[in-house]
A and B are shown apart, each in its own frame.
Chain A
């Protein structure tokens, strides 16, 4: 349960013996009294606790924005943890100054989180633009300003930097010269290399009660239990979080994060719109931690990655110390949060066939709030159309059944048919007979039914807008 963990916190090398599941947030506030990192929700929904996690990658350190309230201290091992205190110099940084100039802060409680998030963005991007900068604070909530002044501050930062800075922007020394990060950052790669040498490996505890991947579900649902248990970690380190091609299959290591998936060149090549779809998943710090495997095993009926992978007709690769086996994702869920999986099995890999040339893929999600919210209903569709005839169709729907649903009847209804308004209407009608939505906090049964109809229509509207007439809408 307790472990000695070595890492760098801001400028300081730290060796601490703690329960592995202690959150970095608690460690910073209670043990280090670094109170600039705030607790606003403890469930990844406010960003007040945002820190940067620097990981050694070759001779460089790569920084990522992470919610410290969901980050177990054991995973700080060998890393550079940066808090607002570790970003302060005697002068304000461009980011800090813009917030002061534009009134991007009022009560100040959320503010360190915003400054850290934006610094993380400048450290990790090499193509500064407003969209990405805004996305980097998509997980930060400011109740006072309503974000209008913050957006102005961000605008100013990006403008100022695009003037001052050109190509090599995420070069450490140029960021230091620009006063965005303090000078000591230069020393970190060397120091981390030394620490790394001493770490043997993240040894797993023998008897584990919990397997933590990104922890973004577990810490929200079970934090108290984690703190009383033996923990095993299964999170990608050193390139284990790969996405690769094997023959005509695309393979995803279960430890790949949602960010890995969205950033993958392979995924972008076959699904050019995926980057936009992925932006609807949580927030940047959540995506940096949430794994694909975790999303599937968590078995939420509205898991976004699960819904996407269902429409790609994916296969799961499960393993325990005796055997490996494969199971189709669409057969994996047997009931609400029950799986075709033995307790000791680990999901290692997800594979799916590389889509053919003439395919169309789309993902739709509607929640109460467009971003950083769990869907009321989501759905994905992969369609192959040859000569206007549908030759392949895989459609999934979330939020309308106890499990992430593969719409097999709708598929049957579409196969071999022409893409026409009539056929689509009929197929949607069939789809609506496959579902069993319930009324809950994310919407009434009535709404979810109507919404699924609309989102299924939206797939086809995106496929070919001209076939959807206004009448079919009403």
Chain B
């Protein structure tokens, strides 16, 4: 079923924050931020800026009526810095002017005097200095320490994975205006309206009921607007509250990239032990997470790294430790996968290294260790309806892995400059917020007297199609045409205390709540039909395709008539419902429990061709078998899967976040930070739907799709490694993502690059 929103999208009629017609007199704000990564404010001179034409006011920390604090999990982040500066791009002042141009001109006239301290940008350095945001976290299973002696092979190594900028195409933005009674209304591009509401109430010293947050849709989120839409929303709220006028902030792209956090870079140490047949007996891993200057969601992300540190393998003895390291980078934040991909990259790197030592293809080790039914994860949960092996088997059969391998071998024999590489990537991803509390949602459903239906939930539409899925839920339960169902904006007055639309759980949690609310109304309608049709209690009444049936026979009652008659009988046509995922729990003190409602599995095969002369590459194909459960909307789900895969591939290949050692971001624009474009897409991409008898926690048995497929992208790293080795069998493979053209070429020719550089240096000194 096609997505109705898409019709508006292709006509350019869908509105985003900056498209909503602002009221007369709306003011525009711009942010003055720290030019240094670490230091102290000595003096802030606003005088020249304030005197500029069209500048209305400049706000700093001291103008905040409430608490200068926006940290959602740990209160360690100021809205506006007033003393210590902790990262480059940290907001210090808000300039409000009549228009955007003037606001930005004034920002340039603010003079900051500061004392600079040395900055830490590296997680391991922060760890050495003891800069940890929370105490270390450890997950363990079996007894890794005593298992090493049983291993035939033990391999140790390190793995690095880089940050990733979200590049949601719509930059961060917010628009706030005062409402009567001293309250404020905020239109924000956020994945978490309740988070914004709570933070703005804290900043303004208002009760939450005086702060209304409304969200229409997002031009992409990917986790980047889960916690980090809050600051801009609070800034507009503060300015609108103080000035009693509407105020808007839309970050331009450079500001957005400079001031917001990214996917957490990780540096990790691993030790893996195997039998000579390739069975993994023990795995020990230490993660150093680069959290940036504040906690943001880092601690939760760290948890998910640990949850997914063994990917889709069963390893009987595991010890995984993670450090949340505070550095002087912008606070890093959620990004699709939420720490899972970082954990999985390390185990895959370890397997690759082990395979090199054993002299086998990594896929031999991968396959041998895949999860089976009833296997235990390091956090105590056991697999159920485990699709790790079935998806692997189907992938290698359906796509004919044997033939693929032959082709690659043949090609590599015949070509000296171009080399192909092939790798498999199985995934396993747990669904539910790992913080059990967040696994709840509510929905408000109204049936209007003309038979149309309006639905409010906490779900945010950001391109993932959740609104369409919610419409499908209501239309299915009421058995009415889907065009009758409208999804309202996400609004804190209609859906209170909501969890962020995150963790791939938006459709599950909110869909279930909608399901309950619709069933409540349907029950009342059926009762009313019973009276209308004067039927007995034992009679079977149902609504099918907008017509009421009595014991299987069509009646003259249509949906419209039924609704009107029910209303006339003073039946409630509205329902509010709450859903909480049943059965999940996690004991943080024991680090054991059943945190996930279910897991999503799948297997990808990725092939690349490397131009070993120029050090560039193309993606031949990505072929996937993915466990969708029973997809309720295959077009949406396939598109979600493919989009996620490309983001994963981007993270592993061309997307490189580069900071100077002073903590200044070099890749602060779309001209220097490159995301996959149409040319970079694989020549072929195929996603097979693995049907699966599914646990009921997924809405209509349609499994969560947002995040899991991103991790297929990890496979490309190892496809590239295999191609490098086809060119030069003794090449030293480093586990250091992303594999940019630069790293690839240097790896292909090492140590030629070093030697050339040395020669160059010598020549220059001779001159």
Contact = CB atoms under 8 A, between A and B. Distances in A.
B614 A107 contact: no
A382 B650 CA distance: 36
Contact of B670 (A36, A45, A83, A105): A45
Given A369-B677, A432-B756, A96 B764 contact: no
A143 B220 contact: yes
Interface stretch (B14-22, B77-85, B133-141, B581-589): B14-22
B629 interface: no
B219 A109 contact: yes
Contacts of A257: none
Residue of B167, B170, B754 with highest tally of chain A CB at under 10 A:
B170
B6 A105 contact: yes
Contact of A146 (B16, B614, B645): B645
A370 B679 contact: yes
Nearest to A146: B646
A84 interface: yes
B374 interface: no
Interface string A139-159: 011111111111100000000
Given A111-B12, A144-B220, A432-B759, A458 B252 contact: no
B749 A43 contact: no
Contacts of B615: 366, 451, 454
A446 B252 CA distance: 34
Interface string A106-149: 11111110010000000000000000001001101111111111
A137 B681 CA distance: 13
B52 interface: no
A92 B105 CA distance: 42
Given A100-B10, A366-B741, A145 B219 contact: no
B263 to A, nearest CB: 14
A92 B417 contact: no
Given A224-B105, A436-B764, A88 B678 contact: no
B645 A36 contact: no
Contacts of B9: 99, 105, 107-108, 111-112
Contacts of B658: 441
A454 B9 CA distance: 45
Contacts of A36: 11-13
Contact of A115 (B12, B222, B465, B728): B12
B191 to A, nearest CB: 12
Residue of B2, B218, B613 with highest tally of chain A CB at under 10 A:
B613
Nearest to B665: A441
Q: How large is the interface on B (under 10, 10 to 19, 20 to 34, 35 or more residues)?
A: 35 or more
B465 A106 contact: yes
B591 interface: no
A138 B678 contact: yes
B5 A108 contact: yes
Q: How large is the interface on A (under 10, 10 to 19, 20 to 34, 35 or more residues)?
A: 35 or more
Nearest to A373: B674
Interface string A24-65: 000001000101111111111110100000000000000000
A100 B2 contact: yes
Nearest to A105: B9
A68 B15 CA distance: 19
A103 interface: yes
Given A105-B9, A148-B642, A141 B757 contact: no
Interface in B710-759: 728, 740-742, 745-746, 749, 752-754, 756-757, 759
A396 interface: no
Contact of A141 (B10, B14, B252, B670): B670
B7 A92 contact: yes
A377 to B, nearest CB: 10
B169 A376 contact: no
A421 interface: no
Interface string A354-377: 000000000010111111111010
Contacts of A102: 635
B614 A45 contact: no
A340 interface: no
A474 interface: yes
B462 interface: yes
Contact of A147 (B171, B614, B676): B676
A227 B99 CA distance: 14
Contacts of B669: 41, 43, 45
A143 B752 contact: no
A455 interface: yes
Nearest to A101: B2
Given A43-B670, A474-B728, A38 B741 contact: no
Interface in B213-270: 217-220, 222, 252-253
B654 A368 contact: yes
A121 B259 CA distance: 37
A470 interface: yes
A232 B171 CA distance: 33
A144 B465 CA distance: 11
Nearest to B743: A447
B275 interface: no
A326 interface: no
A262 B168 CA distance: 33
A416 interface: no
Contacts of B167: 141, 143
B614 A458 contact: yes
Contact of A473 (B12, B105, B612, B759): B612
Nearest to B648: A146
B637 to A, nearest CB: 9
A372 B678 CA distance: 10
B98 interface: no
Given A146-B647, A444-B742, A447-B753, A109 B613 contact: no
B764 A33 contact: no
B202 interface: no
Contacts of B21: 33
Contact of B677 (A44, A95, A100, A372): A372
A314 interface: no
A474 B220 contact: no
A85 interface: yes
Contact of B639 (A149, A454, A457): A149
A37 B645 CA distance: 28
Nearest to B646: A146
Contacts of A112: 9-12
B740 A35 contact: no
A450 B749 contact: yes
Nearest to A465: B417
Nearest to B108: A224
Contacts of B613: 454, 457-458, 461, 473
A148 B675 CA distance: 14
B643 interface: yes
B728 A107 contact: no
A297 to B, nearest CB: 19
Given A40-B169, A368-B656, A446 B754 contact: yes
B614 A470 contact: no
A449 interface: yes
B685 A148 contact: yes
Contact of B11 (A92, A137, A151, A449): A92
Given A107-B219, A138-B679, A368 B753 contact: no
B680 interface: yes
B667 A106 contact: no
What 10 A-B pairs come out closest when comparing CB atoms?
Answer: A146-B646, A36-B12, A107-B463, A108-B9, A109-B219, A106-B463, A84-B12, A112-B12, A103-B639, A35-B19
21 contacts: A42-B252, A43-B670, A96-B11, A100-B7, A101-B2, A105-B6, A106-B643, A107-B219, A108-B9, A141-B167, A141-B169, A143-B169, A146-B681, A149-B643, A151-B681, A224-B104, A445-B760, A447-B746, A450-B745, A450-B752, A454-B615
Given A100-B7, A112-B10, 19 more contacts: A39-B18, A44-B671, A100-B6, A105-B9, A105-B10, A107-B218, A108-B8, A108-B9, A108-B463, A138-B677, A142-B169, A143-B675, A146-B645, A149-B642, A373-B671, A433-B763, A443-B742, A445-B757, A446-B757
